[in-house]
Amino acid sequence: MNLPDRALRAILAASASLALIGCGAQSSASVSAEASIAPPAASETPAATETATPTATATDAPSPSPAPSAYPTPAPGAQRTPYLPFGQWATVTGDGLRVRAQADVGSQDQVVATVNAGEPLFIIGAGVVSEDGYDWHWVAYGAGVAGDGYVHAAGLGYVAGATSDGGERYVALAELSCPTVTVDTATLGSLTGWTLAHCEFGPLIGFEGMLNQPIHGPLTPFRYEPTWLWFPMWFLTEPDEAGRAFTWSGWSIGLHFPPGMDASALRRGDLVRIDGHLDDPAASECRIIGSGAEGGPVPSEGAQQAFRQACSVAFVVDTIQVTGHIELAE
């Protein structure tokens, strides 16, 4: 289900990459009756696991999910989330679900919070991460839509949404809402990654906007292949003579250029018309490569899976035509 437009105008593939690999520690949540949550960290190695006796009281029967017209109220003191790459609501179906810092059943000190039946969660991770017999979601807990129209949350982390064999379910996912009209630039820029990953789209043609490049990618100890699907070369934004990008009042789309397409003549401030597509076949080849240093960080399988999912929602350019230019300040 989609959030109000303002809350959904976030960086698509770039946000997903940042959320999965980027700045900050990668969170993981494990649930054996509880859920765990924490912000994602690219370089974390899976913590030693502990024997967990499933004691979750959640039932298989899904609880009602928040309706579009009645978003939940944020927990007291909740802060606005920095990015909304996915944005699907879910509801906890049983008491005592642990939120963890890692997407595995690790030591007790990984538990950052517990959530109970009926509490809303905002899923911001790229799909599920299967680990230790559970399917994990990266979520914002204590989450709701504040008066400013954005999602505010008490914290971020991983919760076990269900057992990997489907035998038990701990959260009920909200119903997906796909666009029913032709997707234009602003619409695509406002859709969450969850929608991009699960809805069918027609040709993405005639997209117009301005090229902007405010960042070059987060620093991590890893390499990502193929590199052209790792982080956008350019960002398509609303034309703005001040050159601002990633404002909460506008949209932004990360642009990926496949091998063989020469983008060297493009400049920041170019006004362009673009045709492109999602779910490029190369997404299945996306992988994270460790630092190679002895004792250096090793990417987890969960991080690998999340990166592949981020690649699948990347906007890949088929053709690009420069139609004008705005001289932007540095």
Yes or no: say if 314 and 254 are a contact pair by the CB < 8 Å rule.
Answer: yes
Percentage of the chain surpassing pLDDT 70? 69
User: What average pLDDT does this structure show over 24-28?
Assistant: 29
pLDDT at 144: 85
Alpha carbon distance 218, 24 (integer Å): 10
Distance CA 307, CA 223 (A): 12
Q: Is the pLDDT of residue 193 over 80?
A: no
DSSP state of 66: P
Residue 30, pLDDT above cutoff 80: no
In this predicted structure, what is the pLDDT of residue 288? 92
> What is the pLDDT, as a whole number, of residue 309?
80
Higher-pLDDT residue of 72 and 33 is 72
Query: pLDDT tens, 68-120?
Result: 335 788 888 888 775 555 567 899 999 999 999 988 887 677 899 999 999 99
Q: What is the pLDDT of residue 270?
A: 95
Residue written as tokens 């790792």?
230
What value does the mean pLDDT take over residues 279-284? Answer: 93
In contact, 166 and 187? CB cutoff 8 Å: no
User: How confident is residue 151, by pLDDT bands cut at 50, 70 and 90?
Assistant: confident
Which residue has better confidence, 39 or 196?
196
Distances (CA, A) of 36 to 42, 83, 115, 126, 158: 17, 20, 9, 17, 5
Among 16-25, 61-70, 145-154, 201-210, which stretch is predicted with the lowest mean pLDDT? 16-25
Q: By the 8 A CB rule, do 103 and 35 touch?
A: no
Lowest-pLDDT range, 20-29, 150-159, 287-296? 20-29
Mean pLDDT of the chain: 73
Go through 274-299 and write b for each residue having 16 or more CB atoms within 10 A of its CB, e for each that does not.
Answer: bebebebebbeebebeeeeeeeebbb
pLDDT tier at 286, thresholds 50, 70, 90 = very high
Which residue did the predictor score with more confidence, 17 or 159? 159
Any residues with CB less than 8 A from the CB of 293 and at least 6 apart, and which? none
pLDDT at 170: 95
Instruction: Give the model's confidence band at 148: pLDDT under 50 very low, under 70 low, under 90 confident, else very high.
Output: low
Average pLDDT over residues 298-320: 85
pLDDT of 136 > 60? The answer is: yes
Go through the chain and tell me how many residues it has. Answer: 330
Q: CA 272, CA 206: separation in Å to the nearest integer?
A: 9
Residue 218 confidence (pLDDT) above 80: no
